[in-house]
Structure 1
Amino acid sequence: MKKSNLGAVVISAGYSSRMKELKPLLKFGEYTAIETVINTFRTSGIDNIIVVVGYRDNEIIEVLKNSGVKCVKNEDYSKGMYSSIVSGMEALDDKISGFFMLPVDIPLVKSQTIKILKSKYLQCDKGIIYPSFNGEIGHPPIIDCKYKPIIVSSDRSGGLKKVLEKYNEDSAKVPVFDKSILMDMDTQEDYKNLTEYFNFSAPTVEECYCILDLYGVPYNIIRHCVEVSKVSLKILYKLNENGYNFNKNVIQASALLHDLARSKKNHAEAGAKILEELGYKHVGKVISTHMDIEVDENGLITENEILYLADKLVKEDKYVELYHRFSEYSLKFDSNIEALKKMQKRFKEAEKIEKKIRNVVGEILPDIIERFN
């Protein structure tokens, strides 16, 4: 049984020459990149953190002076990243059994990703654990401390990747739902892309499909979710044209993932719980009411109402008008009074939402859907 005392080595010593600004101190919200990385490890239960500094080390040390991490200066930082990796490993506590290796260039790795990798490391017999997104390996790997002497004594040609490739039989790839494991920031364009990703507020479309795939959602359900997403966005665009300011990313992700747990009992709540565990609490809240909802007829239209209505307007993977769906269900549940009452309640709530939208945009839903086709 492996010990759970993992550490982290964060490389923050380079020149940032292509960026033209010091990468560790670039901001993501209220925190710098180096603080963001440290916060992620701390949130994930990793407290033994070594930050390797070099170029403009005093500025980074000043930012981290109250963080509780150990800053180690690599006097040979001009020789490249490998020398900083060695400096970081040598500073690790002897009690550490393994460590994450992460350059500050890749600052937005999610806490959930760190937890998934840690769990895999503790459960399997492999000494090197890599995260992968859609089959592509990214950062940070976990490296067992048995490899410290090998890495330190290497001739350093080809970098750490080349050294670890010799031990592929002792490695495992762990699929994660986190595109940021592949997103570094060498240039201003990279930083712009990372900032947009940071502000996205929801899993990207690519991450949504990855989540659906890894949770084994059947293709017919995915097709339904895709159509619900299209209908949701058509309603969103029209409402935003009329004074609302809905976040497209949240609505799109909520629609694509609303039937994530379709095979489970109370699948709306089950799906919401999964999304919350993945770090997308707001998207989970939108998903949680897509089966049953209480509509305030006099209130503002909500994200939850858009998804709820769009789901009722899609039969399998085709848009249908609301009264057609209700007619079908009335026939289907004609002999089941309780089920029929539940369906009547659901469609009454959908009609309330439909009316609220019509009052705002001055058009009926079929016309809105048709115009955006």
Structure 2
Amino acid sequence: MCNCRKIAGLIVAAGYSSRMGAFKPLLPLGGKTVIETAVDSLRHGGVTDVRVVVGHRAEDLYPLLERLNVCVIENPRYAEGMFSSVVAGLNTLAGEAEAFFLLPGDTPLIRKRSIKDMLREYRKTGAAVVYPVFHDHRGHPPLISARCFESILSGNSAGGLRDILDRFAADSVEVELADQGVLLDIDTIEDYRKLSDFYAQREIPTYDECLAILHKHRVDSRVSRHGQVVADVGRSMAGLLNGVGLNLNVDLVIAGGLVHDLAKGKPNHPKRGGRMINCMGFSALSGIVASHMDMEFAADYVVDEAAIVFLADKLVQGDRLVTLAERFGPALNKFSSSPEIIDSVLRRMRTAEAISDRVLGLLGISSFDEMAL
């Protein structure tokens, strides 16, 4: 086994893109192309040696890839399929790297945290293959160690790479990731639309990614259910407010509702949860999580996503809708002899009432009973 501590990234982009009907590597994605985004994904995760295998329309890719300063490997046998491109790329890595991420060029949106989590698992276990998994489905890129290199290089395309890696199943591991991007590739125009939509909102975890975050951190099912109801209430409220002229990001409200209690049960759980979310790369969401228990709402405060999540959380007790009086009344009675705690409860209640009054005023209604929450 190679003892150099080098992890490489191999992107295969040599195919015909026949099912897509357009050359996938050069499709626009945001302000870049699909292939540029794939390179960025690996580099943002800490992989400095990125190599790209080209074949079909290689001459169109060379100028772009040279500007990206990646090693370009031409596969003259690309017509034989993806396995031939893997072999062509691996021939340049064998003896140099101890493992490599294998990323199809049409699966470009891998989160930085995912790459780091897979590397951490590899360092911990020394597994032959580390597979990324999202909601029980394996995706890309697998991290393939040098123990598999000889079998791949001496193999053939009859069974493909999957059959070869299956030989190492007993010595492989799966890593549960909160990253829907590991499953998003481009085979059709509809796939491309979904990928583009995902890219546009990549700073906010999707609904399923939020559920994966909760599952990964072993959040109690009751807490998870509470978050789902808070998300539903927040979504309804934000949608109605947008209908009267506000410009709230509904996806951010939903994500905030789902994961606001991520660190429930830990000391200072809002701040702790905010830090956890920030470490995952979701900075806008982290502030909402951190402020869901205590926030200032001055007279000139503009209703934003954090205020909606704060209020929605106070309108949900467990998994049922309640009034603010029902939510805060028990705490006021229970801690009536503890001035410090009462002050804290009153502060939160008054903030919730202030946000409530503003929301109802904007909607032109007198109570939440008139809203379809």
TM range (shorter): over 0.9
Deviation digits for residues 305-335 of structure 1 (CA, Å, limit 9, x no counterpart): 1111111111121111112223222101101
Q: 1:15–1:22: 8 Å Cα contact kept in structure 2?
A: yes
CA distance in 1, matches of 2:259, 2:321: 18
Q: 1:312–1:350: 8 Å Cα contact kept in structure 2?
A: yes
Q: 1:258–1:268: 8 Å Cα contact kept in structure 2?
A: yes
CA distance in 1, matches of 2:4, 2:205: 32
Q: 2:94–2:149: 8 Å Cα contact kept in structure 1?
A: no
Question: Which residue is 1:168 aligned to?
Answer: 169
Aligned residue type for 2:243 = E
Q: 1:2–1:122: 8 Å Cα contact kept in structure 2?
A: no
Residues 344 and 143 of structure 1: CA distance in aligned 2, closer, same or farther (over 3 Å): same
Determine whether 1:251 maps to 2:250: no
Question: Which residue is 1:102 aligned to?
Answer: 103
Question: Which residue is 1:199 aligned to?
Answer: 200
1:217-232 matched pairs, under 5 angstroms: 217-232=219-234
Q: 1:234–1:368: 8 Å Cα contact kept in structure 2?
A: no
CA distance in 1, matches of 2:152, 2:191: 29
Q: 1:13–1:84: 8 Å Cα contact kept in structure 2?
A: yes
Residues 221 and 3 of structure 1: CA distance in aligned 2, closer, same or farther (over 3 Å): farther
Q: 1:131–1:141: 8 Å Cα contact kept in structure 2?
A: yes
- Give the superposition deviation at 1:148: 1.6
Residue range with higher mean Cα deviation, 223-232 or 284-293: 223-232
Task: Name the SS for the 1:363 alignment partner.
Answer: coil
- Give the superposition deviation at 1:232: 1.1
- Give the superposition deviation at 1:3: 5.4
Determine whether 1:208 maps to 2:222: no
- Give percent identity, aligned residues only: 33
Question: Which residue is 1:159 aligned to?
Answer: 160
CA distance in 2, matches of 1:145, 1:336: 63
CA distance in 2, matches of 1:347, 1:357: 15
CA distance in 1, matches of 2:233, 2:176: 30
Q: 1:10–1:50: 8 Å Cα contact kept in structure 2?
A: yes
Question: Which residue is 1:314 aligned to?
Answer: 316
CA distance in 2, matches of 1:340, 1:242: 36
Question: Which residue is 2:339 aligned to?
Answer: 337
CA distance in 1, matches of 2:262, 2:5: 31
Question: Which residue is 2:13 aligned to?
Answer: 12
Question: Which residue is 2:274 aligned to?
Answer: 272
CA distance in 1, matches of 2:288, 2:227: 14
CA distance in 1, matches of 2:273, 2:320: 23
**Runs of at least 5 residues in structure 1 that lack an aligned partner in the other structure:** none
Question: Which residue is 1:74 aligned to?
Answer: 75
Q: 1:50–1:91: 8 Å Cα contact kept in structure 2?
A: no
CA distance in 2, matches of 1:368, 1:139: 47
- Give the superposition deviation at 1:125: 2.8
Deviation digits for residues 89-145 of structure 1 (CA, Å, limit 9, x no counterpart): 112263311101111111111111111111111111311111111111111111112
CA distance in 1, matches of 2:190, 2:165: 30
Q: 1:3–1:122: 8 Å Cα contact kept in structure 2?
A: no
Question: Which residue is 1:296 aligned to?
Answer: 298
User: Pairwise CA RMSD of aligned residues?
Assistant: 1.5
CA distance in 1, matches of 2:369, 2:62: 60
Alignment length, in residue pairs? 371
Aligned residue type for 1:318 = R
CA distance in 2, matches of 1:5, 1:183: 27
Aligned residue type for 2:334 = K
CA distance in 1, matches of 2:148, 2:319: 51
Question: Which residue is 1:263 aligned to?
Answer: 265
CA distance in 2, matches of 1:300, 1:20: 47
Counterpart selection for 1:236 from 235, 238, 244: 238
Aligned residue type for 1:29 = G
Determine whether 1:24 maps to 2:25: yes
CA distance in 1, matches of 2:370, 2:228: 18
CA distance in 2, matches of 1:171, 1:249: 36
- Give the superposition deviation at 1:177: 0.8
- Give the superposition deviation at 1:359: 2.2
CA distance in 2, matches of 1:130, 1:80: 22
- Give the superposition deviation at 1:358: 2.1
Q: 1:297–1:353: 8 Å Cα contact kept in structure 2?
A: no
Structure 1 segments of 4+ aligned residues over 4 angstroms from their partners: none
